Amino acid sequence: MPLTPVEVSQLVAAGVDVTVERSEARCFADDDYARAGAMLTETPWQHAPLDAVIIALKELEESDAPIAHTQIHFSHTFKGQDGAARVLARYARGGGEIYDLEFLHDDAGRRAAAFGYWAGFVGAALGLLGVAHFSSARPGVVDESFPSLSPYTDREALIAAVEAALASAALQRDLRVMIMGALGRCGTGARDLLGSLSRAIELSAWDLPEFSAAQKPIEEIIGHDLFINCVYLREPIAPMIDESLLARNTRLSVISDVSCDPTSADNPIRVYDRITSLEQPFVRARDGGAKPVYVQAIDHLPTLLPREASQEYAAALFPYLKDFLVAGIPSNTWTNARKCFELALEEHGLVN
């Protein structure tokens, strides 16, 4: 969640009218928001007054209906993703605008708020759950039906699930795990998950120096059981993995693509082409007929630890959001985010 009841109460105290759409799927109950001073509604955001700012998390449902509201959420439309032009055209026709949460930066150029740590933490856990699951298939038979996922109550419950899966799996050797982007927020979360386990894991923690020095695709990846990609894609980079690499694979079992850019032309993990889901977390990579490799590419991993992830994210976002809603003159964080939206419109020929 981009706002917990704590932040809602602070906005209300600052004179902001907050309306929350009712939901039974959140980790925070409707009553929690009501006690924080929000009005509750069952009316969809499309029917909100046009001067209302719509704050959400993920991209919108598919539609061609024009959008006239100002929206703050992860739109996944500013980096050349498939379908971006169709989404942006809705705003161009309706006169609305997007302030994409991914493109909110402070004056030093750092992300104002990010789910990266918890995405990495959960991505590492899910990668190990995949390794355990696929290693337990009967000889000569690979079971691709990894069970659907539901949110965990807290990080301890997730760690316990990984410990139990590894203990019961048919793993005949020490685990080798490689993290790419190990020093960032996401990589730090992945390292913390691995470090919290009782099982010994041989870790290769790579970041920009190792990536830059390596030949591409990166041969070292297939010397591990699990590869975790935590690289934030800002610009085109050489592919880390392709089908020619996996055709030589004898060890790699799972790729946990936490960065998850399969619909981008610059996707550095070029062995799959679609986002996976909580219902179907893994897809088999295009591997040239060698040892099967499975990819998790869920683009909302922190939802598996919703309370911890929401509390950290909302606390980081709140000062910027309060500034946007209360201050008379928007800060550089918001003017620059608006420029990103305008540039995306221009790139798709949607400016009159």
Catalytically active residues are: 58, 76
Closest CA to 123 of 206, 221, 201, 190: 190
- Report the 3 state secondary structure along 216-254: CCCHHHHHCCEEEECCCCCCCCCCCECHHHHCCCCCCCE
- ∠ CA 150-189-214, nearest 5°, is 120
276 — phi, psi (to 5°)?
-100, -175
Q: What does the block give as tokens for 154?
A: 């807290």
Q: Are 203 and 226 in contact (CB under 8 A)?
A: no
Q: What does the block give as tokens for 13?
A: 């105290």
**Which residues lie below 8 Å from residue 351, measured CB to CB, with a gap of 6+?**
92, 342, 345
Q: Are 340 and 105 in contact (CB under 8 A)?
A: no
Q: Where are the beta strands (DSSP E) in the chain?
A: 19-21, 39-41, 53-55, 70-73, 97-100, 175-180, 201-206, 226-229, 254-257, 282-284, 294-296
The amino acid present at 11, given as its one-letter code, is L
Residues in a beta bridge with 227: 178, 255
Q: How many residues does the chain have?
A: 352
Q: Where are the beta strands (DSSP E) in 75-167?
A: 97-100
How far CA 58 is from CA of 263, 319, 335, 338, in Å, comes to 16, 21, 21, 18
